[in-house]
Structure 1
């Protein structure tokens, strides 16, 4: 019996929720990390990890599946060329969620979701620069 195996509806209908996740995923791939609410980040984590797993194998079939979600061509190219190759030997767990406190207006728990190796890359650049 699999109790409580559902997902968070995020207070939106299905099409609005899907559009939200597509836009958040596009922003995450484009920028490497984004700031959002904890509930959105937890839903985004599973959504993005499925895309990265697809992008690890560069085939026409996988490119078309990813293109249904990531509609910006340059972001899809970045996913296949830069993001996915970093995780070839890693069996999942491509993202990290870091709590940053509560939002001032409504006290929502805010987090930063980022790719795990992106933080290591930023530290290396900081060490080289300074």
Structure 2
């Protein structure tokens, strides 16, 4: 019987599943938000929240446990120095899963998993404002038009030359 067995297997062996979750957790720590399938996001949430718990503890044993699971020292440094301190006042629920709908290719349900306390970076909103502030560059089109007119004439001449050479 499966009493209180809550492991989501994701149709993988134990070692493959552990590596998958470690890689997803590293990506989440590095980028703050990742897009994946709903099943993987739900499997990742407890792992990511345990990593935040280790980051909040901050002692040597917690660092060693995080390195043992994640296997990337630079990601562990970011976890302990940047990500975990943002959640120091929160007692749990560090991750948010937002459903996106079905993937176009195979209709798999997709989701975004992100940190709740992550500062929001709106790069898309800033980019148009920066472009609007800069003056538009002046482009001279006359030389390009002359070159474009000259190139097809050369191609036609070479085709004619080849046709005359083949006829002789």
* TM-score of the pair, normalised by structure 1: 0.88
Q: Map 1:23-102 onto structure 2 (within 5 A).
A: 23-102=23-102
Q: What corresponds to 1:122 in structure 2?
A: 121
What is the root-mean-square deviation in Å for CA atoms of aligned residues? 2.0
Separation in structure 1 between the aligned mates of residue 80 and residue 36 of structure 2, nearest angstrom: 24
**Of the two structures, which has the highest relative contact order with CA contacts closer than 8 Å and spacing of 6 or more?**
1
Separation in structure 2 between the aligned mates of residue 60 and residue 4 of structure 1, nearest angstrom: 32
Aligned positions, number: 125
Separation in structure 2 between the aligned mates of residue 66 and residue 73 of structure 1, nearest angstrom: 9
In the alignment, structure 1 residue 20 sits paired with structure 2 residue 25: no
**1:81-100 Cα distance to aligned partner (Å, 9 max, x none):** 00000111111100000111
Consecutive unaligned residues in structure 1, runs of 5 or more:
none
Report the alpha carbon displacement of residue 7 of structure 1 after superposing the two structures with TM.
2.0
**1:11-59 Cα distance to aligned partner (Å, 9 max, x none):** 0010000000000000000000100000000010001101101110111
Report the alpha carbon displacement of residue 75 of structure 1 after superposing the two structures with TM.
0.8
- The structure whose Rg is larger is 2
Separation in structure 1 between the aligned mates of residue 14 and residue 70 of structure 2, nearest angstrom: 18
Consecutive unaligned residues in structure 2, runs of 5 or more:
130-168
Report the alpha carbon displacement of residue 73 of structure 1 after superposing the two structures with TM.
1.3
